[in-house]
Structure 1
């Protein structure tokens, strides 16, 4: 299989989510044009994205919903449960605990960590909150390899270093700091301020056109 471009990889969960809607609606097949209208991605891009995975559809027939859904379910590891740690239970951390990926059956926050004695040792939205002193031990014992980082920027790197030492391989970084990590660790940065400023910039200069990348 050819190496998948990052832009394509970002779109795969969008396709998967809409295919689930189609399945729930009892639809058996879908064309790239129908998909394009629904997810607001042009049909040529969809066909190119799908082409990286081989012959997923038939010309004149489109795509079989169940087959395509099963394929992307496996490709996106939706057929197994991934336990995720939340590091930092401040305002954003609490919001993420409240959300806890309720619409996903394959991802859940299973452990949270904080320095606040008022919440450590408690259960928040069904998730146990441990003191930061226990983080490395619990990450190792629970074999958690994915973590969400929402700590203050001043301690982001040191906390990330501890997480990585405990075996974390992927970090969703909500802090403004750009974390230094070995090549064996993948960092996904989510800078909400930057995203909002970028949105405002594009609105001011280019109008309300959807960014499909």
Structure 2
């Protein structure tokens, strides 16, 4: 279906397109123009058309794009037919919120197992997800096929936990801590520092004014 390598920037936008298209389909909409999609997702229409061009001829001039077909294409590209199971380490306020939300409500990702050091939480479930002692991390992960983890531990524990995750075969880490993690080249890390993102937002708001 895809005859060339998709740029990273395009790949990052695909889930955004996919989520909005599903919303449009649920509202009974059957087709959409790049302009309409641009207004909805705040990505300029030229970029959208360029992104879509990596997947062949998806639309027709004067007609737009068939929403059902776009959803089919992006579902295959994003592997939405197969659920990706994820581990979460650190069941504090943020970790608890992620467990209660869980991603299965919106896409193909589900937090399957969680770890913490708090005895009051170990052995319980939150959002249907069982919580184990972080001391059992290697043992519990070894019996699963999980290769992605979410890190919501205190900053001082981030590096040690990351090393343990990598040793168990984790290949991708979504890092919510301020720590900049050192991992092998074959392990991918996405850093999400909420305080930095908020500060950046405030900065741009002030400077735009």
Could you tell me how far 1:3 is from its partner in structure 2?
2.8
Choose the corresponding residue for 1:137, options 136, 139, 147: 139
TM-score after normalising by structure 1 = 0.93
Equivalent residue, structure 2, for 1:199: 201
Please list every run of at least 4 consecutive aligned residues from structure 1 whose deviation after the TM superposition is greater than 6 angstroms: none
Pairing 1:153-192 to 2, within 5 Å after superposition: 153-192=155-194
Which whole-Å CA distance do the structure 2 matches of 1:9 and 1:46 have between them? 12
Q: Secondary structure at the match of 1:109?
A: strand
Q: Secondary structure at the match of 1:129?
A: strand
Equivalent residue, structure 2, for 1:70: 72
Which whole-Å CA distance do the structure 2 matches of 1:101 and 1:94 have between them? 13
Which whole-Å CA distance do the structure 2 matches of 1:53 and 1:165 have between them? 36
Q: Secondary structure at the match of 2:105?
A: coil
Which whole-Å CA distance do the structure 2 matches of 1:140 and 1:60 have between them? 54
- Note the residue ranges of structure 2 that are not aligned, 5 or more in a row: none
Q: Does 1:8 align with 2:20?
A: no
Deviates more, 1:50-59 or 1:131-140: 50-59
Could you tell me how far 1:54 is from its partner in structure 2?
2.1
Which whole-Å CA distance do the structure 1 matches of 2:91 and 2:48 have between them? 38
Deviates more, 1:185-194 or 1:16-25: 16-25
Which whole-Å CA distance do the structure 1 matches of 2:180 and 2:105 have between them? 29
Which whole-Å CA distance do the structure 1 matches of 2:9 and 2:186 have between them? 21
Could you tell me how far 1:102 is from its partner in structure 2?
4.8
Aligned length: 207
Equivalent residue, structure 2, for 1:149: 151
Q: Secondary structure at the match of 1:118?
A: coil
